[in-house]
């Protein structure tokens, strides 16, 4: 097992190098740069800025400068925020993580419970209702649900704040601060959960239906085990196994930020700065963010593979 | 004469599908006595397995037991509550299946899977149950039982897994073991070993066995009594020697003729012409009439009743019905 993990970690190096090349050249070869966004600059001044930022050097050389710095943990300097990229990311990362994490936990719990239940009670009115509900929730675009929720919850009924992460000007600390944040979190988390719960519910329902007609479930029943044990111990465990792969993809999603939802709710997260960085052509920041996602994806996959080995004896390595 | 353990009385199990109602078990009645091995034989799809699953009440939707009674040890199983039935399964009735490879849960150790019924029915503690499970693994003839108990199904061979299934089915000392094609998925040498094991355990524990198979050799070797099924119905039943010596129903005769005999070289092995009829489109005729060499006028219009012919032999065929048969047989 240890050898397997070491081998997998070593394999990550060429994968990430490949990703870095792609990421760098996609951004570097795109016509236009940060200097171009300011139309007031004289050509002379623009050229000075390019030299200052190292944008005048040949592209290959620029890649090696960038990757050299990245390897030392330096992702460059954000044009827009006038801060090191790693500081900008650090500043917003955990905000995104907060809503993504809460919504992921909610999504998974709801999806497992509802998916399993509607598989057991297949074609019942509950199953039909749930199917209709999750498809409805999935089909609405996030900006639409987001705005709709803001209209009802924030404007009409005034239960939750319109946006942001804390009440403007509030100086709450400790517990009060967290209650304030929780209030602000409610709507974005609701939107994120509604959007993702459908797919996962259908996924678990299908898996469960698949497993429940397997021979070993019949054996469990033939042993006279309680229906609860048959479903939760024998069937559910097998139905959850393939979901581990999905769990690996959750990692980049947790830190990647939700671009549209964060924008709508004015949540100070990675998704929002991603959007702004795009608008301002803040390439160092964009490259840093994309690289971060690449790293998280690769790490997420590794974790999924290792977890799979832990959960499924058939792939467990001796 | 020993007591009746199981009695099927006019059991009907139907599958209501889009293509019509499949009468998988259509008015089946027969008995299994205590300590007796009853072989249920017939082609694939004749309702053997569904009969066994009806007894266990494990018929899956859209299948449903529509009518009849199934008596087990003085109780009508169809009148029991779900929980009473559950307590019977794995405790008084054990069952083993055709595919040992897929019949065990891949993510639990085999020891764990033997422990479950022991804890559920005999109320043993985890430790006692584990000790008993190890003992059972040894009993079914697997060496190094402690180590095997901790292995997962994918680490064992098909023959070993079937032995584990036998241990699971018998560990609570049931009165009846249902063996649904227990050797079909195994290769020939392993088949013989598993049958030997079943016979040996039957000698020790004295349970009755309902042996479902399409292998006449297995029946001849194991069974005391044979029930022949065709298209969801019992068409002949008799003690094993009598059935093999003097099969009456043309279908049974065909079955016996289609078995290869050692040392006898034939150009072509006999097979019964035609196929099992579609169970959703059964008419009023004898279900076998299209394939029967001795088909008469009445066979096309009316079903023959199952009647006793001689002391212990029952057959459902117009050939043996007074006034219809040619008395040639």
Is the pLDDT at A121 greater than 70? The verdict is: yes
* 3 state DSSP class of B315: strand
Interface contact flag, A224 B120, Cβ < 8 Å: yes
Interface check for A234 against chain B (CB to CB < 8 A): the answer is yes
To test the contact with chain B by mutation, choose from A213, A220, A224, A310 the residue with the greatest count of B C-beta atoms within 10 A, namely A224
Question: How far is C-alpha A65 from the geometric centre of its chain's CA atoms?
Answer: 29
HSE of B197, CA atoms in CB hemisphere, 13 A: 25
Return the number of other C-beta atoms located less than 10 Å from residue A240's C-beta. 18
Q: Which of B87, B152, B154 sits opposite A224 (nearest CB)?
A: B87
DSSP A180-236: HHHHHHHHHHHHHHHHHHHHHHHHHHHHHHHHHTSHHHHHHHHTT--HHHIIIIIIH
Interface contact flag, B89 A221, Cβ < 8 Å: yes
State residue B188's pLDDT score.
87
Q: Which of A215, A224, A311 sits opposite B86 (nearest CB)?
A: A224
**pLDDT tens digits for chain B (329 residues)?**
478 899 999 999 999 888 888 888 988 999 999 999 999 998 888 889 999 999 999 998 888 898 899 999 989 999 899 999 999 999 999 999 989 999 999 999 999 999 999 999 999 999 999 999 999 999 999 999 999 999 999 999 999 999 999 999 999 999 999 999 998 888 888 999 999 999 999 999 999 999 999 888 889 989 999 999 998 899 999 999 999 998 989 999 988 888 877 777 777 888 888 888 888 878 788 888 888 888 888 888 888 888 887 778 898 888 887 666 554 44
- Min CA distance, B77 vs chain A (Å)? 14
For chain B, what are the domain ranges?
Answer: 4-92+172-320, 103-171
State residue A140's pLDDT score.
85
Distance, in Å, from the CA atom of B86 to the CA atom of B57, rounded to the nearest integer, reads: 9
Bridge partners (DSSP) listed for residue B63:
B15
Residue A155 DSSP one-character state: I
Interface check for B112 against chain A (CB to CB < 8 A): the answer is no
- Looking at mean pLDDT, say which of A186-200, A269-283, B250-264 comes out highest: A186-200
From the list B224, B244, B308, B309, the residue with the least C-alpha distance to B5 is B224
Interface check for A209 against chain B (CB to CB < 8 A): the answer is no
Question: Could you give phi then psi for residue B77, rounded to 5 degrees?
Answer: -60, -30
Residue pLDDT, tens place only, A44-93: 888 888 888 888 888 899 999 999 988 888 888 888 888 899 999 988 98
Question: Could you give phi then psi for residue A55, rounded to 5 degrees?
Answer: -80, -5
Angle in degrees, 0-180, between the axes of helices B158-170 and B110-121, rounded to the nearest 10: 10
State residue B328's pLDDT score.
44
Q: How far is CA B281 from CA A35, B21, B234, in A?
A: 81, 8, 18
Residues of A in contact with B106 (CB under 8 A): 216, 238, 312-314
Interface check for A228 against chain B (CB to CB < 8 A): the answer is no
Least trusted range by pLDDT, from A166-170, A242-246, B30-34, B193-197: A166-170
Spell out the domains of chain A, with CATH numbers in brackets: 87-281 (1.10.3720.10)
Mean pLDDT in residue range A287-304? 91
Is the pLDDT at A260 greater than 90? The verdict is: no
Mean pLDDT in residue range A274-293? 88
Q: Which of A216, A222, A226 sits opposite B105 (nearest CB)?
A: A216
Q: Do A132 and A150 meet the contact criterion of CB atoms below 8 Å apart?
A: no
- Which residue intervals of A30-78 are DSSP H helices? 34-37, 43-53, 59-71
Distance, in Å, from the CA atom of B178 to the CA atom of B55, rounded to the nearest integer, reads: 9
Per CATH, the architecture of B4-92+172-320 is what?
A: 3-Layer(aba) Sandwich (3.40)
Q: Do A159 and A153 meet the contact criterion of CB atoms below 8 Å apart?
A: yes
- Min CA distance, A223 vs chain B (Å)? 4
Question: How far is C-alpha A160 from the geometric centre of its chain's CA atoms?
Answer: 24
Interface contact flag, B105 A219, Cβ < 8 Å: yes
Question: Could you give phi then psi for residue A33, rounded to 5 degrees?
Answer: -145, -170
Interface check for A219 against chain B (CB to CB < 8 A): the answer is yes
Interface of B with A in 170-189 (CB under 8 A): none
Interface contact flag, A219 B120, Cβ < 8 Å: no
- Percent of chain A exceeding pLDDT 90 equals 36
Interface contact flag, B86 A234, Cβ < 8 Å: no
Mean pLDDT in residue range A267-293? 88
State residue B325's pLDDT score.
53
ipTM value > 0.95: no
Is the pLDDT at A159 greater than 50? The verdict is: yes
Global confidence as pTM: 0.82
Distance, in Å, from the CA atom of B187 to the CA atom of A270, rounded to the nearest integer, reads: 61
Q: Which of A224, A234, A311 sits opposite B105 (nearest CB)?
A: A234
Distance, in Å, from the CA atom of A296 to the CA atom of B1, rounded to the nearest integer, reads: 75
Distance, in Å, from the CA atom of B73 to the CA atom of B92, rounded to the nearest integer, reads: 9
């Amino acid at each position: 097992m240890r050898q397997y993990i070491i081998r997998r970690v070593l394999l990550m190096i060429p994968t990430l190098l490949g990703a870095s090349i792609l990421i760098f050249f996609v951004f570097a070869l795109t016509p236009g740069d940060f200097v171009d966004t300011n139309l007031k600059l004289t050509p002379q001044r623009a050229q000075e800025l390019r030299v200052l930022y190292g944008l005048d050097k040949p592209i290959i050389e620029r890649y090696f400068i960038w990757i050299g710095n990245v390897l030392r943990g330096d992702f460059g300097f954000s044009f827009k925020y006038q801060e090191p990229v790693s500081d900008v990311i650090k500043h917003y990362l955990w905000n995104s993580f907060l809503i993504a994490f809460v919504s992921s936990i909610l999504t998974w719990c709801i999806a497992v419970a509802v998916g399993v239940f509607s598989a057991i009670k297949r074609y019942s009115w509950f199953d039909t209702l749930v199917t209709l509900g999750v498809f409805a929730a999935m089909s609405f675009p996030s900006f639409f649900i987001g705005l709709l929720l803001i209209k009802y919850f924030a404007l009409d009924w005034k239960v939750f704040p319109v946006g942001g992460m804390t009440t403007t000007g509030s100086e709450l600390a400790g517990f009060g601060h967290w209650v304030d944040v929780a209030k602000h979190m409610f709507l974005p988390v609701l939107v994120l959960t509604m959007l993702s719960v459908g797919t996962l519910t259908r996924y678990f329902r299908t898996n469960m239906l698949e497993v429940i007609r397997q021979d070993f479930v019949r054996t469990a029943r033939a042993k006279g085990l309680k229906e609860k044990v048959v479903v939760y111990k024998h069937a559910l465990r097998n139905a959850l196994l393939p979901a581990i792969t999905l769990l690996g993809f959750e990692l980049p999603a947790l830190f990647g930020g939700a671009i549209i939802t964060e924008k709508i709710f004015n949540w100070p997260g990675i998704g929002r700065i991603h959007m702004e960085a795009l608008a301002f052509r803040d390439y160092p920041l964009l490259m840093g963010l994309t690289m971060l996602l690449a790293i998280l994806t690769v790490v997420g996959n590794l974790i999924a593979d290792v977890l799979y080995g832990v959960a499924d004896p058939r792939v467990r390595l001796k | 004469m020993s007591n009746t353990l199981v009695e099927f009385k006019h059991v009907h199990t139907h599958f209501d599908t889009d293509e019509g109602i499949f009468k998988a078990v259509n008015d089946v009645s027969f008995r299994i006595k205590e300590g007796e091995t009853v072989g249920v034989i017939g082609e694939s799809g004749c309702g053997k397995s569904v009969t066994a699953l009806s007894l266990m009440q494990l018929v899956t939707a859209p299948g449903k037991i529509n009518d009849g009674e199934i008596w087990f040890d003085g109780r009508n199983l169809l009148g029991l509550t779900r929980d009473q039935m559950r307590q019977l399964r794995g405790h008084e009735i054990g069952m083993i299946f055709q595919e040992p490879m897929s019949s065990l849960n891949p993510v639990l150790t085999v020891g764990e899977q033997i422990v479950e019924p022991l804890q559920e029915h005999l109320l043993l503690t985890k430790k006692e149950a584990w000790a008993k499970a190890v003992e059972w693994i040894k009993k079914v003839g697997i060496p190094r039982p402690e180590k095997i108990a901790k292995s997962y199904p994918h680490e064992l061979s098909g023959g070993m897994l079937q032995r584990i299934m036998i241990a699971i089915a018998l560990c609570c000392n049931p009165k009846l073991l249902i063996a649904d094609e227990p050797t079909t998925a195994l290769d020939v040498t392993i088949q013989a070993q598993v049958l030997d094991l079943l016979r040996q355990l039957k000698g020790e524990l004295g349970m009755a066995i309902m042996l479902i198979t399409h292998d006449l050799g297995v029946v001849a070797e194991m069974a005391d009594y044979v029930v022949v099924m065709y298209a969801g119905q019992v068409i002949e039943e008799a003690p094993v020697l009598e059935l093999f010596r003097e099969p009456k129903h043309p279908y049974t005769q065909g079955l016996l003729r289609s078995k290869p005999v050692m040392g006898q070289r034939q150009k072509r092995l006999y097979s019964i012409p035609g196929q099992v009829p579609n169970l959703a489109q059964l008419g009023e005729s004898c279900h076998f009439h299209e394939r029967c060499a001795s088909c008469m006028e009445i066979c096309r219009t009316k079903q023959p009743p199952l009647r006793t012919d001689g002391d212990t032999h029952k057959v459902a065929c117009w050939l043996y019905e007074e006034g219809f048969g040619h008395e040639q047989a």
